[in-house]
Amino acid sequence: MDCALSLRHLTSSIHATLAALVFATGAANAEGTARIQQSDGSIKVYRDVRLVLTRWTLWVRTADRQGVLEVVSQACSFENQIQRCLPFKLTLHQAGKRLPIALEYGTVYMNFSDAVHRLPHVADRLGPGEALVLLRTRRGTYVSVAGRLDGVT
């Protein structure tokens, strides 16, 4: 195994460990729902996903704990008490691997206030401690996640 390969393996392991650690604490009261719509129109719904925010990164874990989506954002600003961030990096941690996904664009909304607020541009509302993630990958897959944040670190 050459040095580059070892380093890549180590980096991958560190990320997998970090992903596991992020979800190691806190009560298991996940209420989020994730929907993935492939470019061919097929849709899969994932209930009871767990959402944890660590600084600029939102981690979304499936109920069976087999998959974790890592969504890294920047350009966070506030609008009507809703924080809107623009994601630029999407990684799937699954089957012991760290799998980068090419992201086209997206938006992450979070409500850190104590009140319900309307989302910018649309009639929908976001309750206290709730998050909404809307992503489109370069392969044309739409990923949406909605639910309460189970942890903010």
We find the least distance from the C-beta atom of residue 67 to other proteins, in angstroms, to be: 2
Q: Which residues pair with 90 in a beta bridge?
A: 71, 101
Instruction: Draw the binding track, 65-84, toward other proteins (x: CB under 8 A; -: no contact).
Output: -xxxx---xxxxxxx---x-
Stretch of 1-9, 12-20, 22-30, 62-70 contacting other proteins, by CB under 8 A: 62-70
We find the least distance from the C-beta atom of residue 120 to other proteins, in angstroms, to be: 5
Instruction: Draw the binding track, 4-43, toward other proteins (x: CB under 8 A; -: no contact).
Output: -----------------------------xxxxxxx---x
Among 10, 11, 104, 116, contact with other proteins (rule: CB under 8 A): 104
Q: How far apart are CA 90 and CA 57, in angstroms?
A: 10
Q: Are 103 and 90 in contact (CB under 8 A)?
A: yes
| 108-127: contacts with other proteins (CB under 8 A) | 119-122, 124
Q: How far apart are CA 104 and CA 118, in angstroms?
A: 25
Residue type, 81: Q
Burial label for 45, CB within 10 Å (0-12, 13-18, 19+), is exposed
Burial label for 140, CB within 10 Å (0-12, 13-18, 19+), is exposed
We find the least distance from the C-beta atom of residue 112 to other proteins, in angstroms, to be: 9
Q: How far apart are CA 117 and CA 126, in angstroms?
A: 5
Q: Which residues bind other proteins (CB under 8 A)?
A: 33-39, 43-47, 62, 64, 66-69, 73-79, 83, 85-89, 92, 94-95, 99-105, 107, 119-122, 124, 132, 134, 136-139, 141-144, 146
